[in-house]
Structures are given as C-alpha cells and as structure tokens.
Structure 1
C-alpha cells in the first residue's frame, strides 16, 4: 500500500508541477518535420522515394482513415477528447499498475504529451523532462484544437521499420495510403506505437496479431467499432506487403536526378542545405524518364551482353533530339547486386574510346568546310600519311579491307579508316574536334589526327547528344533528366526550360 500511495502522490504532484512550469516554446512546428522526397517518371508514375533516417510524408487529418484515428486514440489515450493535455486518471492508473508489478508496465502519457515529446523534447527520462512535457502539453491544448494535435501526432509518431507518421506507415506495411486503411490494418498500426520492435509484424507476427486484437477489443469496448466488424477483422491475417528493399526502376537515372539537385544552388546555398532538401525536404521531382523505353533499353543491353561472367558491361542513353529529354539510361549491368563498382555510371561517368562512332562528327565538320559527300578518296587496306609536323601516320582498315576509290557516303557506310584518316587531315583535327564539342561532346577532346578513329575517351551521353544534334537538323539541345521540382505542398521550386543552340547550319 505504501508503494501505491507514493505513486498516487507523485502523480498528483506532477500535474500540479505541470501547471506551474512555464516554458518558452509551446507549439510544435509540424512543417519543419523531415519529409520524404519523391521522384516521378514522365507519366507520373512514382519511381522511388528518397529519405535519410526518417521516412515521413505529412498529410492532413482528413486524409487519415477514421479507423486509424479511433484505434490510436483508443489504445494510446482513450480520454484524449476530454482531458486538458495531462490525464490525471490515466496517471493514477499507470502508477497503480507500475506499483503492483514493481516496474513500468503501463504508460501514463497522453497523446498530447507524446506529441510534445516527439517534436520538442529529447528522449531522456528525467523528472525535469517529464515536468516540461506535461507543462508543454497543457499549454499546447490552449494553443491548438484537438484535431490539430491529433493530426500532428499521427504525422510524427514512429511505427517502426523507418516509418514516421501514418502515411509512411500505411505505405511500408500495406502498400496503400493512410486514407485507405481497413479496420484490421488500422488496429495493426495503432498497436505498433507502444513497441514498434516488439510488435513488428515481420519479425514477430504472432505478437503483432495479438496486439492488433487487443486494439480491436478496446475499440469494441468503447463502442467505437462494431463487434461483428471486429470479429471479421480478427479472422484476417496481418496482410502486410513485403518490406521494400533498395531496388527501384532505372537506378542510374535516379542517381543523375539526385546529382542534379545536389549540384544546383536553386535547392540550397550549400551542399549541406541541398542534401537536406533532397532527403528531408519533401521535394516532388518530375523527370523525363520513360519507363517503357527504360525497360527496352535494359533488355537491349542484357540481350547483347548476355554473359555476365564473360561479357563486358554496357551503357545506353536514349534522348529526345527535339527537347533533350533523357528518356532511358543504362549505366551498367546491376546497380544493386554488383557491389560498389557496379554503381559507377558508365553512361555519364565512364569515358571510353569513341571508336568509329566519332567518324560522323568528323564528316559533319567536313561538310561545314565545304567538302562534298561525292568527293572520293583512295581506300587501300593500309596507308601511310605524312603529317604537317613531318612525322608519318600509319593507318589500316579493319580486317584489311580495301575498296579502291570510294566517296564519303560509301566510306561512312563501310567505316573505312584509311579514307577518314585522309579526310581529317583535309579538314584539320582542331576544327573537327571543335565541331564535335559544338555538337554536344562535353568530355575533353585532344585535336590529334587519330581522333577520327575514336581515340578520345567520351561518354555514352556525349555521343547521344552529338547524334541527337544531327537528328535535330543541327540544333543542339542540352540534355535534361528533370522537368520540374515542387515542394510537398505543390509550390513550384524549379522548372526546366529547353536550351537550344545552333551547332550546325
């Protein structure tokens, strides 16, 4: 009895202390909570969600299913709608239960106190912190309505597995939105709040189901749920979806989108600010990604390079010549399963010799110099050419092919090295390289005669941009991965504008 009396006295003293304690800040800033950013494909399909340590998406209370609202209040704070922030009755009940067991077995914190603790206070369990928690809760009840407090709480409380708030939890556990939760799902989520790890439906499904049923019984006892509906809910399994792993479509494309935000001062004056905006700022990033073409691009690379243990890795970039929209990008074989090396993007970072794909760029330079396509050159299997500095340059064709005399059209069709070696000397290596740069090759290019044979290292994005310039009748368009970026509330933050420049007349 002495223990119970002491506990009861402590509860009364706590409430009295809360009323006397006056803090400086009493209103949590819900908009300041970390929110997950989302990346969308061109057709609006969600590609992936980005978050750092917290997966959270704020939603208004009207977008949280009523069964979840009721279930959380029922199991966490059944007198929420009636107390003033601190519930003396709950404190006394918890104190008696703790005294009987000799340890803490029942919490006495109201939803308002929990909300304050989650948003304004540290996690230390001291008398001073408890007094501050209670005091803030009492004052918060004077500053905000019950609905506002419940909305804030349901957007910040932790449900386990990285999910903060009802919207994130509904997605993680059931693959749906908080507004579409069933009674059984709502009871499962409400039951997690007391101990997210202890009632984890993935690691402890039996405990999670028992806890869910406790919540359902509580709802029936309070007459907030129909008994028949609760019985039906108990008869169902947990129905959780598999925990989402790190995999998502077009990972190399997604990395380019991340890099865009992290490099652009429009999203923050410092690298730290941009990192926070990307992973905690709730950005809505709309991209140029065409998921159908992305699938086709991945299939094309996998089909040609079908033996991972023997074949080299491949890269592919597909973009719209008129707008510069990158619609598909393959940067390697397996971004997720190939270790750290596999995350290196061959399409945008991996420079490799251009090879014969560089010849059309030299041909473009020749046409600008006034060289007609009908001009003919000798096309021996092997030729030794004199360079302006007096040195000799030996060039041979692939498989020693010889063609006698050949015009530029046929030399291009058959990729004749000995013809193109003569052509770049007529055009001038420096001029040929300058035209390639104008066409969109961003990688460093050395103005050597051998450039025509593709000895310079370039990226797949370089070559896709240059070839797109040809397809766009000489108009170079700057490639882009992103069309627009908005904040979580829809405020426009960045809008893409097509950048065009005449590269070839």
Structure 2
C-alpha cells in the first residue's frame, strides 16, 4: 500500500498556523496577565512613606529663628513654587523621556542590561525619575536584583496613582543636593539664599547637576567641576529645545553669587530660648521628637529679635571678661500679653546649655512686692508706719527668727511702706508678714503665678524660698497689669506640614489682685530708683518712668521691674553658690537691667503708670504722716485707695493762729506726659 506523504508546504502552513495560534494565545495571556497585574498593583496601597521635612521656628516678626532637621534639611513646596528652569534642567539630565514613559525607559533599560551583562555587574543604571522616587521613598540603595524588581513594581504603582506633575513634585522635594539640603527649596536656600521659585536659568542648571554626586559636584567643594556639569546640562536643555543655544551660552557665562557659608555657632540667635521652645513642644504640647525634628512643622514664637540681640549684646558688654564663672539670666516679657520677648540663659551657650532663666534661686528682697501686695489688700496703706530697729521674732510657739538689715543700718524710727520698699528694710518686711501670716503671702504668690513650693515661715518675706526668674517675672507682670495675671507665652501657633493648626496660644488674663492695691504698689516701687533707693545707682541710665525691686542674698543679685510696656528680670550669681560681691558683682544685675530696658524701649515713647478709679493723691508730711500744708518743708505725694488717705492736717510747721491750707495734688500734665507729647523715635 502506497503511503501518501504530506507536502512540505502544507506541513509548514500547518506549523505556522499552530505557531500563530500559540503566539496569539500567548499575547492574550500576557495581556491578561499584565492587565491583572496592573489592576492588582492599582488596588494595592503604596507603602507608607515618612518624608523627613525641616521644622522651622519663626520669631515674632516672621524671621526664621531656627530650622530643625538634624542633617536632613527639607522644606516641601508645590511644583508651581519651583523655577520651571530647574524642573526642565532636571528632566533634561535625569530622564528626558519622563513625560512619555510609564515608569520605564525601555531603550535606556536595554542598554543598561547589555552593559551589565558584558561586565557581569550592576554598575550601569537606567532609572527614570519615577524609579528614583520609588527608591528614595520606599527602598534602600543596595544594588541587588530583588531591589530592582521591587523598585519596578513600585514605579508602576506610582505611575498608576499619580499624575506626572505629582510625581515630579514629590521627586523635586525628595532628592539630595548635598550639604544637608534635601529638595529644591532647601537647595536654593543653601546655595543661593533664595526661594526655589526665584532661581535663574544659570542657578537652576548648577543645582540640577548636583544630585548625580552631591559631594563630587557641589560648587562649594569643586567649583570648576560643578561648572563643567552645568555646561553639560545647559547643552542637554538646548538639545531638547527647552532653551536656545544662545540662552545656554549666556547662562553659562553668568556669574553666580553663592550664599556665604558661616559656622552654625556664629549665626544661631537666642540659643537658650530655642531650647526652651523645644522643651515646650515636646513636654507641654506632647509632640514627638521625630515629628518635631522631621515633621515640617511651622512654629511661631513670641521672640523679638531686636530685643534679643540687644539683651545678648548688653550682657556680653557688662559681664566681666576676667570672671567667666559669674553667670547671668535675663527674661523680658510684654506684661499685657504674656509674650516672652527676650531670653538669655547664660553667658556662653557653647560652654553651658543650662538655662538659668528656669533655675530656682532665692530672690531675696525681690520677693517683697508680692508680700506688700497682700498687705495692701489686708488693711495696710502706703503710709502704714512701723519701727525699723533690731527685732527678734517668735513663731511656731518657740522658734526665733532674727532678721538684719543690709549693712546693719536701721532707721531706729517709724517708717512707712514707701520708705521700706525704697530702702529694702527687712525689719518692716518681717513685721508685715508677721501681721498677715505667712500662709496668706504664699497664697498671694501662687495667685500671681509662682509655682515653686514656698515655705510659710517669717523668712519668706525676705525671699528665702527659691523661684525662677521666669516665675518672678510673671508675678511682676500681674502687678503692673493692675492685678491681672498673664501666663508667659513663648509659642503663639504650631502648624503641621499641611498648614493645620496643632497649637494656638492666646493671652489669658485672670484677675488675682485688687487693681487699686496693685497700682498703689507700682507707685511705691518707683521709689526704688529715687535718691537713697536701692536702684538709684542706675537711675541716670533711665529716661522713662520705671518701677521695680532689687534683691540680694549672699549668692544672688536680682533686679526685677517694669514699665507699662515691658517687664524684665535679671539675675547674676554663680552656679555653685559662690558668694557674690554686692558692690562689684551684685551691681551688674542693676546695670544690665537698666541698659536693657532703655535700649529695648528706645523706639517707644515713655509711658506713664496710670491709676484706676478709686485712687486719690494727696501730699503728705513724711515726718508726721498727716496731710501736708504749704508750710511743710518736704512734702511727698502719696496715692491711696479712696477713703484710706489721712484726714488730719500737719500742724507741726504751721505758724501760730493760721488755718492749714492743703497742698493741691499736681495736675495730670506731668513731665513724662509732656515728654511723650513731643517724643520722636530714636531721640
């Protein structure tokens, strides 16, 4: 039987048909598989990425006080706030087909595979902008096939979930430009001291070349090498018709002006205040360290950079260079708002970060106004008389307390409250607390904002319970505020990286003392800067009404005081409680206070301490304590709560058979009011 063989052509056609069928099925299978993969990738969320951003701290006038990044300085900005030339330069040198591909540049990928196969390594890269973004956001820099595969899938997911502009915006905010600058905005500020949106073509081409090798191509490291790369990028932009060849030549010839690089220690302002802010952010507002450092927060503070600079300069000039162990603290606050305007926590932050504004020390006689405020609300008047003489006090049945006046000086006569405050008489003070009861003084201090524990003992009148300069400053603010306490504020607002308000602080006022009593005390405290007052040595440095109180212990020297616009406390002493020389070293607290107050308020007119309703003023004969007449040789103007002023006239100096004629109080047009009417800033 004859076997009929199939013709070769027929066999070929059948084979071709089967191959075509297999090929089509393979294509369909691959397409379905690719579609299923895309649908799967599209349905899967991208890994969570925490992009480290720089937290910025602002002073009260909007200037940048500090940036927190710990080596990764990044400030996110939208794509429209990045110069188009920088965007185009980046695309031209990193991924010229970025707008056309879907996460991969297959031509570059094929070339990279070919080169790597020949050399049997993975040195040749072909990553697109999308792949680089995927790697920077989610992966490490290790060169393995596993990482490459994961990078590919993540790149696809990015392309499926975001538009090209969104990917570009993330990339431009992510890449590293060297010198701790991450992202276009930080890079523009680091190299050129400007925002990314204001970069020129030449500057943009320079920056675009750095990410290839942030150390190698940094113009700060090697300017000639950086210029060579800039030229390469400008030519690439011209090649892709982003700019003309003439624009490329002009940009290359343009002289670049870089931001001056200086040491961080030399430019950091208000270091103790910045530490205080960090402490508040983490401990008061509960913001975690990572969010504080890398969360891109915007922290708006109350610091006045002009006042702060003056405070630092005055402290530096007044404190003795030959005695570096003698320390200082200064804190200044707006008494109306509670906003902290200046803070100096020590002489040299590099040598000691210990903030003495928060340290607790014995305030000495600087505590007395708190006690006298309680006294004025409990039956005392500015004319209450007590004898200043050596006295032994007995308390708690059998305990004794024997205070002494400074230098052993006693009037050995009856003195009033004004004289007691003016000369800082300790006997008068202890007699006052003995009359009131120490617990009443403790309660008054707590109402004024003193949070430190206070011992309810007679010596409290002389400031033996430690408090911090910040606490004392807040208490004095309540006094000048007519009895309204304000909480010290250092931060007004904290925003997250999307502009959401996390914290907002507003002034809170609480009436904690009688307005009339507070105003009377302010007037009495002005006497400290009068002749024979404890602050008189610096009175010639002050050109405006001020009130305050000095304080001293064996190891501390204080002056706390105010104008209606500013309340400031200065402490001088040694960290290890070395004895302070009151004449030479203790005087420095007064000198710093006076110079700072005058300098800080230089551009503001002198302001009066006004009296509320319910206050009357009369002239008093200080020797008799009665209403002065025109014959009294040294009348003094006193203020009283209405109804508590003396009613009898002094007759000690009255001629025989003459009816007393009272001295009329001065009109409201005082010297300081007249001065304020013609005062001009800077005079």
Q: TM-score range by the shorter chain?
A: 0.7 to 0.9
Conserved in 2, the CA contact under 8 Å of 1:173 and 1:243?
Answer: no
Given the alignment of the two structures, is residue 315 of structure 1 paired with residue 329 of structure 2, yes or no?
yes
Per-residue CA distance 1:133-182 (angstroms, 9 max, x = gap) = 22332343343222221111111112122222111211222211110112
Per the TM alignment, residue 353 of structure 1 is displaced from its structure 2 partner at its CA by 1.2
- In the TM superposition, what whole-angstrom CA distance separates every residue of 1:443-472 from its partner, at most 9, and x where no partner exists? 221122222222221111011001001001
Does the residue aligned with 2:392 lie in a helix, a strand or coil?
strand
Structure 2 gaps, min length 5:
1-30, 515-683
Give the alignment of 1:110-259 within 5 angstroms. 110-236=128-254, 239-241=257-259, 242=261, 245=264, 247-259=267-279
Once the two structures are TM-superposed, the CA of residue 313 in structure 1 deviates from its matched residue by 1.6
Aligned pairs for 1:255-404 (under 5 A) are: 255-264=275-284, 274-307=288-321, 309-310=323-324, 312-335=326-349, 337-338=350-351, 342-348=352-358, 350-380=359-389, 382-404=390-412
Q: Does the residue aligned with 1:446 lie in a helix, a strand or coil?
A: coil
Task: Identify the match of residue 88 of structure 2 among 42, 54, 70.
Answer: 70
SS of residue in 2 equivalent to 1:39: strand
1:494 aligns with 2:503: yes
Maintained 8 Å contact 1:19/1:135: no
Say yes or no: does 1:454 pair with 2:463: yes
Q: CA deviation at 1:95?
A: 4.9
Which deviates more, 298-307 or 238-247? 238-247
- Tell me if structure 2 keeps the 8 A contact 1:34–1:280: yes
Task: Show CA shifts across 1:425-457 (max 9, x none).
Answer: 222222212211211112221122222222221
Determine the C-alpha separation between the residues in 2 that align with 1:299 and 1:430.
Answer: 41
Taking structure 2 as the reference length, the TM-score comes to 0.65
**Equivalent runs, 1:26-45 vs 2, <5 Å:** 32-45=50-63
- Alpha-carbon contact 2:495-2:503 (below 8 Å) kept: yes
- How far apart are the structure 1 equivalents of 2:205 and 2:52? 25
Distance in 2 between the 1:130 and 1:261 partners? 41
Residues 40 and 451 of structure 1: CA distance in aligned 2, closer, same or farther (over 3 Å):
same
Distance 2:181 2:460 in 1: 54
Between structures 1 and 2, the one with greater helix share = 1
Matched-pair contact (CA < 8 Å) for 2:303–2:341: yes
More deviation in 251-260 or 203-212?
203-212
Measured in 2, the distance between the counterparts of 1:493 and 1:31 equals 21
Q: Distance in 2 between matches of 1:309 and 1:51?
A: 36
The structure that has the greater radius of gyration is: 2
Aligned residue number for residue 54 of structure 1: 72
Secondary structure of residue in 2 paired with 1:396: coil
Higher relative contact order (CA 8 A, sep 6+): 1
Tell me the distance in 2 between the aligned counterparts of 1:309 and 1:178.
Answer: 47
Q: CA deviation at 1:41?
A: 1.7
Relative to structure 1, is the Cα distance of residues 207 and 116 closer, same or farther in structure 2, using a 3 angstrom cutoff? same
Cα gap change, 1:468/1:312 in structure 2, threshold over 3 Å: closer, same or farther? same
Paired residues of 2:46 and 2:157 also in contact (CA < 8 A): no
CA offset digits 1:287-342 (Å, max 9, x no partner) = 2212222222223333332426346221111112222111221111122x22xxx2
